[in-house]
Structure 1
Amino acid sequence: MGLIAFLKTQFIVHLLVGFVFVVSGLIINFLQLCTLVLWPINKELYRRVNCRLAYSLWSQLVFLLEWWSGTECTLFTEQATVDKFGTEHVIVILNHNYEIDFLCGWTICERYGVLGSSKVLAKKELLYVPLIGWTWYFLEIVFCKRKWEEDKDTVIEGLKRLADYPEYMWFLLACLGGRFEEKKDKHLDSVRVKLSSRYLCLAFFLFPRKEGFLCICVCLYRTLTVAAVYDVTLNFRGNENPTLLGTLYGKKYQADMCVRRIPLEDIPENEKECASWLHKLYQEKDALQERYEKEGTFPGQRFKPPKRPWTVLNFLFWATVLLSPLFTFAIGIFASGSPLLICGFLVFVGAASFGVRRLIGVTEIQKGSSYGNQEFKKRE
């Protein structure tokens, strides 16, 4: 094991990386709060500034994946689809099977220049999570309770507000309401739901939810001129099950992403027809996953979009700004010889460690939605 690989496994290094992310995030949130004065004066300027501020935070996580751990993302698609990346408003359907699936999505967003302006339909609980939820609030992210009867009006109003968004936007959407967990009851319940319906059951996905998908397609198509849906099926070579902690430890993964571009006008607006169309789409995704398990690859031409230097430069900037005074402060504390100050500093370090671990916990599979179980119970 080389020196750099050894350092990546050390707790103190993880703590320093977490410190940079958390403190820079709080600074960015404060700057975002200050930008609210721009909203009544120049809404477009407010949005462009917040896209850059959000990029400065999210790109630190992308740096962690593509530079720190060295994870590679390979696209399987067509040249005509690649040529469209970063030049149109789109809805991205990304399977929700892994802890870092969102991070792989962000990596592709970064490489095509839409990371800061990317959007997501997020569960309302995330609104109260420091850094993540707060940054999303200033980005006008749409939050929902995952109960369509209560969410419909909120989602429609939130989407309408994005009608004049000034930058190309990728709207990431998981139509499943939660992560697929084969070893848990959620999967079994999902299978029972599908067996009781006219649809064929899926081996790799939960039952897709049509209501939010149809609403988002219709609203964004009419207000923002969204051009297409990018259907993205993600898997990892070697049957890996990657985690954010593994990435933090410098573990390298090989992510493969099959991308299909579907013009939005090809998606039916009728609810029943849309439900059938969506389930057919997930049957195709299921077949892609099955093929990947057998052959270790997806169909289509391979593309490896090059890494850009901005994520590294951004992290180095924040590390320089924040770690230099931290080291000076720590040296001063221990040089003072004061037991009270030293104990206080150690308590601070412990609290920071706990906070970083809690943030990582937000991405863990065990924290996922209980959608699969709930849906079956409704049908009993």
Structure 2
Amino acid sequence: MSVVQMMERYCKVLEAHVDLFLKSVRYALGSVIMFGMAPEYFGLWLVWRGVSLMLPGWMFQWGDDKLYSLYQRLVLFFFETCTRLEVVLYGDAYDVLKKRESVLYLGNHQSTVDWIVADMVSLRCGSLGHLRYVMKDTLQLIPLYGFYFYVHGCIYVKRGKFSQQKMIASLDYLKNPKIPTWLVVFPEGTRYYPGHPKVIEKSEKYARDNNIQVLKHHLVPKTRGTWLVTKILHAIDAIYDVSAFYEGSVNEEGIRGNAPQLIGMLMGKCKKIHIHIRRIPMSEVPKDEEELKVWLHNLYIKKDELAENFFTKDKEARASVQTRLGGRPHSLGLWSTLSSFLVFTAITVPVLCTKIGRQLYLQLLVYGTLGGYGWLALRSVC
């Protein structure tokens, strides 16, 4: 091996190590800031909650949505701006970007990043603050945020012990037409995760036992939560059927693997995400629960057919999917996320650099967390 070849090899190894180091720093810094910001964010929310006590509920929600949007822009600063993630939009995406409406967002579920995909879509539609999720009950345990998500309008449900009455009670708050809402539901309930084949096998068995089409790339969707939303939230204008596909989920042999999760995304392991949106007017959605069950499964059959374009073993077909399906990249302006990072940095510096700030931080973290746990337990929200 010549000296030149040795130097080239050394440079490549050094470049790889530097790249890994920078990605690790981004992951560590992003995680510390996003989770460490919780007490400051909770403090801001408490101030607004106190100021708005004498105001109508919808005005409190307006301010709360602004705060939520500010924080979620910080999340996207790390997950999209810093990672230089390319977002490609398909279907009705560019039409819905022009609309300002309340929607039921039905997404496919394969990663812990799927909720951030909803951030990406809603920010581009000018509705980031209006996002609310139907979430599994264990997320109540997240310090501070577990409580905050509920008061923001998110709905907790217990897997296997779904309480229809408690979900109806939660939805009642969102019936106010002055509270715009993007309610995010993942009807599959559980992530489609090739690394956990038993979940997929259970779904396929259910489909066969009930004489419905077996899905290749999704789990059989559950209906009750979606039906309750369509029944109660009359202010919903449309359903956004959203399918996200993470590039790099298929290996060289054409075998589908696990989609990247939160750590992998922050480490930059996914360079491009494909997001297909289909807008369905509420007038086309069945009102009867049994009819909706059939309709929703047919919707997932169509999602399955779409997914085959991205998970096919044909390497050339995967490479040409953007051209074939008419996908167009859509980038965020730097200021749309950087501004949030700068705002929270300006708040954090005096908090961490002063004795009274650090004391307040710890008190908000400890007492806010315990108070939130107690409030959720007393309310028995799910």
TM-score range, shorter chain: 0.7 to 0.9
- Partner AA of 1:247 in structure 2: M
Query: Which residue pairs with 1:219 in the alignment?
Result: 232
1:131 is displaced (CA, Å) by: 4.3
Note closer, same or farther for the CA distance 1:19–1:181 as it changes in structure 2 (3 Å cut): closer
Q: Following superposition of structure 1 onto structure 2, how do residues 280-299 of structure 1 map, counting pairs within 5 Å?
A: 280-294=298-312, 295-296=317-318, 297=321
Note closer, same or farther for the CA distance 1:2–1:203 as it changes in structure 2 (3 Å cut): closer
Equivalent pair of 1:76/1:301 in contact (CA under 8 Å): yes
Kindly report the root-mean-square deviation, in angstroms, between the aligned alpha carbons of the 2 structures: 2.7
Q: Following superposition of structure 1 onto structure 2, how do residues 164-313 of structure 1 map, counting pairs within 5 Å?
A: 164=176, 166-184=178-196, 185-220=198-233, 222=234, 225-239=235-249, 241-294=259-312, 295-296=317-318, 297=321, 300-308=325-333, 309-313=335-339
Equivalent pair of 1:90/1:227 in contact (CA under 8 Å): yes
Note closer, same or farther for the CA distance 1:325–1:41 as it changes in structure 2 (3 Å cut): closer
Stretch moving more, 118-127 or 165-174: 165-174
1:271 is displaced (CA, Å) by: 1.8
Matched residue pairs, number? 324
Query: Which residue pairs with 1:54 in the alignment?
Result: 68
1:290 is displaced (CA, Å) by: 1.2
Instruction: Give distance in 2, aligned partners of 1:135 and 1:4.
Output: 38
Identity level (%): 22
Partner SS, residue 116 of structure 1: helix
Equivalent pair of 1:76/1:302 in contact (CA under 8 Å): yes
- Partner AA of 1:175 in structure 2: P
Query: Which residue pairs with 2:92 in the alignment?
Result: 78
Instruction: Give distance in 2, aligned partners of 1:301 and 1:162.
Output: 36
TM-score computed with the length of structure 1 as normaliser: 0.77
Partner SS, residue 259 of structure 1: strand
Equivalent pair of 1:76/1:256 in contact (CA under 8 Å): yes
Instruction: Give distance in 2, aligned partners of 1:325 and 1:278.
Output: 49
Q: Is residue 43 from structure 1 mapped to residue 57 from structure 2 by the alignment?
A: yes
Note closer, same or farther for the CA distance 1:79–1:6 as it changes in structure 2 (3 Å cut): closer
Equivalent pair of 1:25/1:57 in contact (CA under 8 Å): no
Query: Which residue pairs with 2:10 in the alignment?
Result: none
1:206 is displaced (CA, Å) by: 1.1
Note closer, same or farther for the CA distance 1:190–1:310 as it changes in structure 2 (3 Å cut): same
Determine which of 1, 5, 24 is the counterpart of 2:37: 24
Instruction: Give distance in 2, aligned partners of 1:35 and 1:238.
Output: 43
Partner SS, residue 123 of structure 2: helix
Instruction: Give distance in 2, aligned partners of 1:174 and 1:145.
Output: 14
TM-score computed with the length of structure 2 as normaliser: 0.77
Stretch moving more, 271-280 or 157-166: 157-166
Instruction: Give distance in 1, aligned partners of 2:62 and 2:135.
Output: 21
Q: Following superposition of structure 1 onto structure 2, how do residues 109-128 of structure 1 map, counting pairs within 5 Å?
A: 109-128=122-141
Q: Which runs of 4+ in 1 moved over 6 A?
A: none
Q: Structure 1 stretches of 5 or more lacking a match? A: 330-347, 349-380
- Partner AA of 1:243 in structure 2: Q
Query: Which residue pairs with 2:8 in the alignment?
Result: none
Note closer, same or farther for the CA distance 1:201–1:62 as it changes in structure 2 (3 Å cut): same
